[in-house]
Chain A
Amino acid sequence: MGDGKLVQQHEDSRLSDDVVVCDRLSKSFGDFHALRECSLGVRRGEIFGLLGPNGAGKTTLIRTLLGFLHPTGGRCSVDGVDPTLDGLGVRRRVSYLPGDARLPRHMRGKSVLRFFAEMHPDGDLTRSLHVADRLELDLKRHVAFMSTGMRQKLALAVVLGPRTPLLILDEPTANLDPTVRAAVLELVIEARNENRTVMFSSHVLSEIEDTCDRVAFLRQGSLVHELELADLAQRHRITATLPSEAIEVPTNFVDCVDVQVTEATRGRVGQLRIDTAGDLAPLLHWLDSLELRRVRIEPLGLRSVYDDVHQNRAPYVASPSTMPLSSGVKP
């Protein structure tokens, strides 16, 4: 059986569970590859984070899913509907907040909410007004006279009105103050609790860490890594002064330990870095035997993974249960 058929079978088997399915999805603009053979699945009822530096392809991926862009390769579906064949069907199932949401400037806040509530078959003006109230938004003002943050709140009230199966938020907390950010994240979690699926792109790692169930890392148009946030809690980084003797990793820990050594340079002491995956308890005896000095043990946060992915390093050595789902780590 060829690779393509395998991928097809794999994706088809996930169709019932996955709200979003991308199979080798590609998008090029001339010579520029905005998205390269991206395969991922977003499970029903989860909050899925999209991470990556600017220009990584997050927005291109989202806009292709919505049918704004036509893919140059591969396929995708939202709730079983292909956006290239039935864009209307996709948008009936999705509420989308663009990264730079602009609304008709000649309208007042309340008119905007009413307009979009009437546009969507699942539109709910009462709910939009409730969201606006929670975000402490003055709806009497014209959009033209609203600040950037107020416009973002208004766009959020528009998007969070209809109860669609999928909610796609492209940097929803941009331009918002910390209090409102927290309120937005609460709303995102509430949407998940209503069994809705949320796709969520952000540059604020702590937000992703606090809300998402799973996260995908994009770099230069490729999906380079996927991570279950629950697994992240079981990962630790141990740093210490580089010991004089070489370190040997016991064979039973090879799959869940990654050792990196920074040699001593002029004025700087050599450093040992051990990233671990899984339960830390079985490793403690081995770590003790290494007689390390100036030891520091810390949870391996999303920041470390992000940095590793961004700098094209393998983020950690994972046990089979935590191996990336589709593309894994690419050199």
Chain B
Amino acid sequence: MIHRVMVRTYIGQSALLWCSCGLALFSFAWVRVWVTSLLDMGQFRTILEQFREFEKFAPIEFDALFTYPGRVGMTFDEPIVILCTVIWCISRGSDCVSGELGRGTLEMLLAQPITRRQLLFSHAAVSVTGLALLCLLVWAGVYVGVQTTSIEETLPSPSFTIPWLNVELPLSGAESAKESMPLSERVDSSVFASPTFHLFAFGFFLLGLSTLVSCLDRYRWRTVGAVVAFYVIQLVMFGLSKAAKSLEWLGSVSFFSCYKPQKMVTLAVNESLAAPWSLTQQTPGADLPPLAYPLILVALGIIAYVAASIHFTRRDLPAPL
């Protein structure tokens, strides 16, 4: 099913892109956690309260963001993380057939004793493993960030409450004491296992889709264009589903609805670490169990790969351009 020599070649071809994306994701995740520590929770609350009316556009309730795990969990929805993942998936997926056709190298490759399926799945093995490692790098970045960052928390000053009047009065006029502590005391990095899996599932679907379009097409630029167009349309549909009650149904046909990393953080923090991995428990504010969402994306990705394999095996290969 997988050809050893092809796998080695694909690793060589994609190494530079992977290293670039990996470096960006790891360092961003680390820095993003550090930035979290710079903003005092009180100030953060004040800022967010001003945007309460836009809460419906947020992936989770604002209240969840007033916790350190919630704020760190936002990393998985950051545009840079999504962008790097999408770049890896679309560039690798589109390369598989239409990329090789465009470069004219597919003819010489397939003139060797290798089946088209071997070529496709060798490519997929490298791309999917690369994606999994990128997702793990985000988690690693978050972990390193959590372990190396310190936070300062304002301790409540001693006070007493006047009975009957219910008024709280400070006992001294001194400033509130601040306590410094490692972020790891407030955030357990293992709660980000499920968001990491969500990011992988999101990327796996995009990889499968890009590979399918690549197998259908002969020009890489058109493959990339088609997948990006699909992505943007799905994103707009997802946005519209949040904007208006009448368009809520659009959310159910957008794959973005299955990407819920922050919800999984909340679930892991509020319930248990195992809660996001359940297929029986109901997700608060959602229709399906938590694990069903990434599994839908993975299933769609597998379907795309199977369809790509069937079409690629049957199609006539055009002569090099």
**For the complex, is A119 an interface residue (Cβ under 8 Å from B)?**
yes
- Interface contact B107-A119, CB-CB below 8 Å: no
- Interface contact A103-B108, CB-CB below 8 Å: yes
Residues on the B chain within 8 Å of A88, using CB: 113-115
* CA gap between A119 and B12 in the complex, in Å: 16
- Interface contact B108-A102, CB-CB below 8 Å: yes
Most chain A CB within a 10 A radius of its CB, from B103, B108, B114, B115: B108
The residue in chain B whose Cβ has the minimal distance to the Cβ of A92 is: B113
Q: How many residues of A contact B (CB 8 A)?
A: 31
Most chain A CB within a 10 A radius of its CB, from B105, B110, B113, B317: B113
Tally inter-chain residue pairs, CB-CB below 8 A.
69
- Interface contact A98-B108, CB-CB below 8 Å: yes
- Interface contact B107-A68, CB-CB below 8 Å: yes
Residues of B within 8 A of A (CB): 3, 5-6, 9, 12-13, 103-105, 107-115, 314, 316-317, 319-320
Residues on the A chain within 8 Å of B103, using CB: 102, 105
**For the complex, is A163 an interface residue (Cβ under 8 Å from B)?**
no
- Interface contact A68-B317, CB-CB below 8 Å: yes
- Interface contact A94-B5, CB-CB below 8 Å: no
Q: Smallest Cβ distance from A63 to chain B, in angstroms?
A: 7
**Known contacts A68-B107, A103-B105, A120-B113; is A115 also within 8 Å of B320 by CB?**
no
Chain A stretch 74-104: residues in CB contact (< 8 A) with chain B: 87-88, 91-92, 94-96, 98-104
Most chain A CB within a 10 A radius of its CB, from B3, B103, B110, B111: B111
**For the complex, is A106 an interface residue (Cβ under 8 Å from B)?**
yes
- Interface contact B112-A119, CB-CB below 8 Å: yes
The residue in chain B whose Cβ has the minimal distance to the Cβ of A143 is: B105
Contact residue among A87, A92, A102, A116 (Cβ-Cβ distance under 8 Å from B107): A102
- Interface contact A104-B105, CB-CB below 8 Å: yes
Q: Smallest Cβ distance from B102 to chain A, in angstroms?
A: 10
Residues on the B chain within 8 Å of A120, using CB: 112-113
* CA gap between A29 and B319 in the complex, in Å: 13
Chain A stretch 143-175: residues in CB contact (< 8 A) with chain B: 155, 158
**Known contacts A100-B104, A102-B108, A106-B13; is A119 also within 8 Å of B113 by CB?**
yes
Chain A stretch 22-71: residues in CB contact (< 8 A) with chain B: 29, 59, 63, 66, 68-70
* CA gap between A157 and B188 in the complex, in Å: 58
Most chain B CB within a 10 A radius of its CB, from A69, A99, A102: A102
Q: List 5 A-B contacts (CB under 8 A).
A: A69-B317, A70-B316, A104-B105, A119-B109, A158-B108
* CA gap between A68 and B12 in the complex, in Å: 26
Residues on the A chain within 8 Å of B6, using CB: 119
- Interface contact B113-A101, CB-CB below 8 Å: no
- Interface contact A94-B108, CB-CB below 8 Å: no
- Interface contact B105-A119, CB-CB below 8 Å: no
The residue in chain B whose Cβ has the minimal distance to the Cβ of A106 is: B13
* CA gap between A104 and B8 in the complex, in Å: 14
**Known contacts A70-B314, A106-B13, A119-B114; is A63 also within 8 Å of B319 by CB?**
yes
- Interface contact B110-A115, CB-CB below 8 Å: no
* CA gap between A96 and B109 in the complex, in Å: 10
Residues on the A chain within 8 Å of B12, using CB: 106
Q: Smallest Cβ distance from B148 to chain A, in angstroms?
A: 37
**Known contacts A63-B319, A88-B114, A121-B113; is A115 also within 8 Å of B5 by CB?**
yes
Q: Smallest Cβ distance from B198 to chain A, in angstroms?
A: 34
**For the complex, is A118 an interface residue (Cβ under 8 Å from B)?**
yes
- Interface contact B111-A91, CB-CB below 8 Å: yes
Q: Smallest Cβ distance from A105 to chain B, in angstroms?
A: 7
Residues on the A chain within 8 Å of B105, using CB: 102-104
Contact residue among B111, B314, B316, B317 (Cβ-Cβ distance under 8 Å from A96): B111
Q: Smallest Cβ distance from B243 to chain A, in angstroms?
A: 45
**Known contacts A104-B9, A118-B5; is A91 also within 8 Å of B112 by CB?**
yes
The residue in chain B whose Cβ has the minimal distance to the Cβ of A117 is: B5
**Known contacts A69-B317, A88-B115, A119-B113; is A155 also within 8 Å of B108 by CB?**
yes
- Interface contact A102-B104, CB-CB below 8 Å: yes
Q: Smallest Cβ distance from B122 to chain A, in angstroms?
A: 11
- Interface contact B107-A101, CB-CB below 8 Å: yes
- Interface contact B9-A115, CB-CB below 8 Å: yes
* CA gap between A56 and B320 in the complex, in Å: 17
- Interface contact B112-A116, CB-CB below 8 Å: yes
Q: Smallest Cβ distance from B240 to chain A, in angstroms?
A: 40
Residues on the B chain within 8 Å of A94, using CB: 111
- Interface contact B5-A119, CB-CB below 8 Å: yes
